[in-house]
């Protein structure tokens, strides 16, 4: 169970880092964060499987939030690319 909390804390740290990242210079910065979030999703999937998916719904919620974050980052990257093309 400690691994689940550690993984969740790591994932939330990435999400917080995305929100606090003030100096985005180009889409490559966002792409690096996107890669980290994708890795967090895989870690969360492994943690949930190791705990037989029994975390009172919190693991599934955390994984969904990571997936939502990944989607928004993808949109942000597309917008940053479009902006840099101008």
Q: Whole-model pTM above 0.85?
A: no
**Sign (positive/negative) of CA torsion 10, 16, 19, 20?**
negative
Q: What pLDDT, on the 0 to 100 scale, is given for residue 51?
A: 83
Q: Report domain extents, the chain.
A: 2-84
Contact 14, 32 (CB under 8 A): no
- Which residues of the chain fall below pLDDT 70? 1-2, 5-6, 8-14, 16-26, 86
Q: Which two tokens stand for residue 80?
A: 């940053």
């Amino acid at each position: 169970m400690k691994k689940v909390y550690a993984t969740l804390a790591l994932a939330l740290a990435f999400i917080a880092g995305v929100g606090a990242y003030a100096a985005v210079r180009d889409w490559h910065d966002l792409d690096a964060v996107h890669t980290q979030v994708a890795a967090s999703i895989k870690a969360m999937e492994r943690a949930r499987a190791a705990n037989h998916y029994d975390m009172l719904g919190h693991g599934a919620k955390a994984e969904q939030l990571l997936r939502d974050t990944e989607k928004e980052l993808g949109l942000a990257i597309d917008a940053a690319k479009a902006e840099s093309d101008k």
